[in-house]
Amino acid sequence: MTDTAFTPREAEDALAAEYVLGVLDAAERAEVEARIRRDPAFAARVAEWEGRLSGLNDGFAEAPAPNLLPKIEARLFPKPVAARRFGLFGWLSGAAVATALSLVTVAILAPPRPMPVATLATADNRLAYRVTHFGGSLQVNRVAGVPAVPGQVHELWVIAPGAAPVSLGLLQDRPLVVSYPVPPAGFVLAVSIEPEGGSPTGAPTGPVILTAEIGA
């Protein structure tokens, strides 16, 4: 069959449609996604196709989903591990300590290896935090500089592309350990200066002093 040439405009539109339809391979999809990020006119075409084809959505039947909210919320709204561990020890009875000790032994026998995630540092390296991923948690160590002045605190945030920052916790004297998956490329980690106790609003209120993009 002979291929009738498409006009450039038609070819663009067809590419946006192919992307929404999902028929492209992984490499082509990645190219189109890069284009969506840098070319608002093209992004608008993609959005138009999403609207056009949404009439097919009735073809998806509903299927009961298990309640995954606790897992999702644990991922989105992490609690510092240190606080939880403290609570756990208070709760343990003497009889359970033996079990706990054997669990500790197992953990020592098969230690997870820390994986570097990012380093947040000032240009002159006078303040730097190193972020690693370790056994299902992010661990943040200060490798240069000092904590914030009394009355203030450094707060760590994770920012998904285009989304609002989510707090991961406060950076004080001890390393921060927070249950969190490995942040994907394109996510940004940032440190802001907040009043003692952390941001009162749930969003950064003070100056952002350090940032690092994952995979950059």
- Quick note: the x/- pattern for another protein over 144-173, rule CB under 8 A, is ----------------x-xxx-x-------
Burial of residue 160, with CB atoms counted within 10 A of its CB: 0-12 exposed, 13-18 middle, 19 or more buried? middle
Measuring CA to CA, which residue among 176, 139, 171, 144 is closest to residue 155? 171
Closest contact distance (angstroms) between CB of 108 and another protein is 30
Q: Does 21 bind another protein (CB under 8 A)?
A: yes
Contacts of 196 (CB under 8 A, 6+ apart): 150, 151, 152, 153
Q: Does 86 bind another protein (CB under 8 A)?
A: no
Q: Does 124 bind another protein (CB under 8 A)?
A: no
Q: Which of 41, 69, 110, 216 binds another protein (CB under 8 A)?
A: 69
Stretch that binds another protein, among 60-68, 97-105, 127-135, 141-149 (CB under 8 A): 60-68
Stretch that binds another protein, among 11-19, 107-115, 118-126, 207-215 (CB under 8 A): 11-19
* Residue 185: both structure tokens together: 């490329």
* Residue 205: both structure tokens together: 């209120």
Q: Does 37 bind another protein (CB under 8 A)?
A: no
User: Residue 43, CB half-sphere, CA atoms under 13 Å: how many?
Assistant: 8
Buried b or exposed e, range 8-46, using 16+ CB within 10 angstroms: eeeebbebbbebbeeeeeeeeeeebeebbeeeeebeebb
Contacts of 88 (CB under 8 A, 6+ apart): none
Q: Which of 40, 41, 57, 110 binds another protein (CB under 8 A)?
A: 57
* Residue 33: both structure tokens together: 């996604």
Residue (147 or 186) nearer to another protein, CB: 186
Q: How many residues bind another protein (CB under 8 A)?
A: 51
**C-alpha to C-alpha distance for 51 and 170, rounded to whole angstroms:** 42
Residue (14 or 143) nearer to another protein, CB: 14
Q: Does 6 bind another protein (CB under 8 A)?
A: yes
Please give the residue ranges that form the binding site for another protein (CB under 8 A): 1, 3-4, 6, 10-11, 13-14, 17-18, 20-26, 29, 47, 50-66, 68-69, 71-73, 75-77, 160, 162-164, 166, 202-203
